[in-house]
Chain A
Amino acid sequence: MIYVTLILMLGLMVASISVAAVLGLLGLALDQLYSFFPLNRALGELAWSTSTESTMVAIPLFILLGQLMLRSGMAADMYSSMRSWLGWLPGGLMHANIGASALFAATSGSSVATAATLTTVALPEAKANGYNERLFTGTLAAGGTLGILIPPSINLILYAVMTDTSVTRLYLSAIVPGLIMALLFSLTVIAICIVRPGMGGRRMQTGWADRIRTLPGLLPPVVVFVAIVGSIYGGLATPTESAALGVAVSAAICFWRRQLTLEIVRAVLLSTMESTAMIMLIVIAASFLNFVLSGIGIVSEVTSALDATGLSPLSVMLLIIGFYVVLGCVMESLSLMIATTPVFAPVVVGLGYDPIWFGVLLMIVIEMALITPPVGMNLYVVQGVRKRGSIIDVMIGCVPFIISMFVMIVLLLAMPQIALLAR
């Protein structure tokens, strides 16, 4: 049964059928094959409860927020501020790339958008200052992945709904690992640039005058982040409410920067609804599949199959991580997460791991999926903006950061507390 499910799912997906349709039809097929009574009768009710789930409402709101921030035209100002604050480190602008990605991630739940925006701003400077373009583009692709780890993260909301965990706790738990991840990226750049000084480009001279002058550039993302996380942390608002507050604040920022024209609002709404509809159709299909999978007992079958191997929980965890790393190379990351979480999360919890901790770990393996070839969306986004040379450069540039992600995974395994601070 496990194999039939896996083969059907992968087969249909590789045949390039829309992921939502694959999950939905797989649910129908498994129901026909293995269930004693027709589980598909529940599809309508499941679709309704998923569509009206109030936690889910946060998803379009955070997408809208990210879109508004993209349109606000704050990226360039933010980047030049980051440059004057971090440019003195060995590796110069590459730290600005990572820092700006982390900050941008704090206002946007999308890794692709983060990578696209920052590449546009930063890349022209790579050549002008003699950076090694491989490593430089690597920082942009890898930095962009922070978007799904640092709150507000759309992937974390989906994880929360699928595993019935608290978005609030997930968000608060992901902040520290997100910062550590950014720090690890920076340390990687420093280490490489100390060993091979040629990769770091021309050293920049920045002074305090510059830093103070450009400081207002950091204000918009910081204000939005504080509005969101502050209102959640202060108990003022639920994650969904904080998303609405974030939208209001970012709309105000756009208005203040004279970017809130009717035309922009129209475009922003359309692209928000496009992403929302795409994600929610997958989520609806997945919730049905999830229902069928538990109805026909797949989860318990996976658990007992793992029990039968006699492996320790740590070995099983390593197997699961390996599974994600391999599948992450060939699958689109959002679909990968939605399709697998309902099966793995209960297994992992059964092994005695904390679901919040696993959520954070999952974000890191999913981040890795965004920069591992052949299918890594961020690689293509960075290369697409770069428009010259070969994508192989970006792939090679990402290798050091894939290694630092593995280091992060080891850290999480060795010290689970870092992802469990929000108790």
Chain B
Amino acid sequence: MQRFVSNTSKACALLGGGLLLLIVCLTVLEVIVRRITAGSIGPVDEISGYLFAASLTLSLGYAFEQRAHIRIDILYARMPAAVRIVADLVALAAMTVFATFLLVRVWSVFATSLEAGSRSNSTLGMPLAIPQGIWVAGLAIFTAILLYYVCASIGSVATGRRSWIAAHISPPDTNEVVTTEMENVSIGKGADVQ
């Protein structure tokens, strides 16, 4: 189950990344075409907005799994282990409540667009239900992932596996942050550096 959740969130984030690359290609093409022909390949701005909205909700779950959603840990870092577990559970619950509420509100936006057959107020006239549908789906996946973690956390507390919480829910300490940051860096061959 854990693996399924992780793979899903990663696949969604990669899909989001793919959409981002699509934005890059479309935008660069648009700038070039505009420069050369003074024309345009279409409402790239608007399409980028839709792609971005989809890419961002699709990546929310992955960001959560990477424990990237910022938490202020000034007090947390000074709490005893038992209190930390409580803080972790409260934080997880708060995030889940917020995400659920957001999903409900966002769903009604989507449902209204679908029902009314709303189209965007532009030359493209995009039926809004399409981009909003993908966007809502991303948020629904995020909420589902959060719910999975709520259940799994309760389960691990019940069975006394505290380390699971530390590994999946606790905010990464600064050493972990630095380590991840460094994984993203390639400083070069360093031939000139002593």
A-side residues, CB < 8 A to B, are: 12-22, 24-25, 28, 40-41, 43-45, 47-48, 51-54, 56-57, 60-61, 64, 67, 70-77, 79-80, 112-113, 116-117, 120-121, 124-125, 128, 214, 217, 231, 236-237, 240-241, 244-245, 247-248, 259, 266-278, 280-282, 284-285, 330-332, 334-335, 374-375, 377, 380-381, 384-385
Chain B: minimal CB distance from A110 (Å)? 9
Q: Chain A residues near B30 (CB, 8 Å)?
A: 241
Q: Which of A112, A272, A281, A374 has the most CB of B within 10 A?
A: A281
Q: Chain B, 167-194, contact with A by CB distance < 8 Å: what is the 0/1 string?
A: 0000100110111011111111111111
Chain A: minimal CB distance from B97 (Å)? 7
Known pairs A25-B94, A48-B53, A77-B192; A113 contacts B178 (CB<8 A): no
- A20 and B69 contacting across the interface, CB-CB below 8 Å: yes
Known pairs A70-B185, A278-B70, A281-B60; A269 contacts B14 (CB<8 A): yes
Q: Chain B residues near A113 (CB, 8 Å)?
A: 181, 184-185
Q: Chain B residues near A268 (CB, 8 Å)?
A: 184
Chain A: minimal CB distance from B56 (Å)? 5
Q: Chain A residues near B193 (CB, 8 Å)?
A: 76, 79-80, 121, 124-125
Nearest CB in chain B to that of A382: its residue: B178
Q: How far is the CA of A41 from the CA of B101 in the complex (A)?
A: 10
Q: Chain B residues near A214 (CB, 8 Å)?
A: 192
Q: How far is the CA of A240 from the CA of B174 in the complex (A)?
A: 32
Chain A: minimal CB distance from B47 (Å)? 10
Q: Chain B, 22-62, contact with A by CB distance < 8 Å: what is the 0/1 string?
A: 01100110110001000000000110111011011111101
Known pairs A259-B186, A273-B16, A285-B98; A47 contacts B105 (CB<8 A): yes
B109 at the interface (CB under 8 A from A): yes
Known pairs A45-B109, A113-B181, A276-B56; A14 contacts B74 (CB<8 A): yes
| Of the residues B52, B91, B109, B185, contact of A117 by C-beta under 8 Å | B185
- B52 and A16 contacting across the interface, CB-CB below 8 Å: no
| Of the residues A120, A245, A334, A335, contact of B187 by C-beta under 8 Å | A120
Chain A: minimal CB distance from B78 (Å)? 10
- B91 and A18 contacting across the interface, CB-CB below 8 Å: yes
Q: Chain B residues near A244 (CB, 8 Å)?
A: 23-24, 27-28, 31
Q: Chain A residues near B185 (CB, 8 Å)?
A: 70-71, 75, 113, 116-117, 120
| Of the residues A61, A245, A274, A330, contact of B31 by C-beta under 8 Å | A245
Q: How far is the CA of A420 from the CA of B21 in the complex (A)?
A: 34
Nearest CB in chain A to that of B17: its residue: A269
Q: How far is the CA of A71 from the CA of B13 in the complex (A)?
A: 20
Known pairs A52-B50, A240-B27; A276 contacts B102 (CB<8 A): no
- Between A and B, 12 residue pairs with Cβ closer than 8 Å are A15-B87, A16-B76, A24-B98, A25-B98, A44-B107, A52-B52, A60-B56, A61-B23, A237-B31, A273-B63, A274-B62, A380-B177
| Of the residues B13, B20, B105, contact of A64 by C-beta under 8 Å | B20
- A28 and B135 contacting across the interface, CB-CB below 8 Å: no
Q: Chain B residues near A21 (CB, 8 Å)?
A: 69, 91, 94-95, 97-98
| Of the residues B66, B95, B171, contact of A274 by C-beta under 8 Å | B66
| Of the residues A14, A47, A241, contact of B72 by C-beta under 8 Å | A14
Q: Chain B residues near A72 (CB, 8 Å)?
A: 186
Nearest CB in chain B to that of A56: its residue: B52
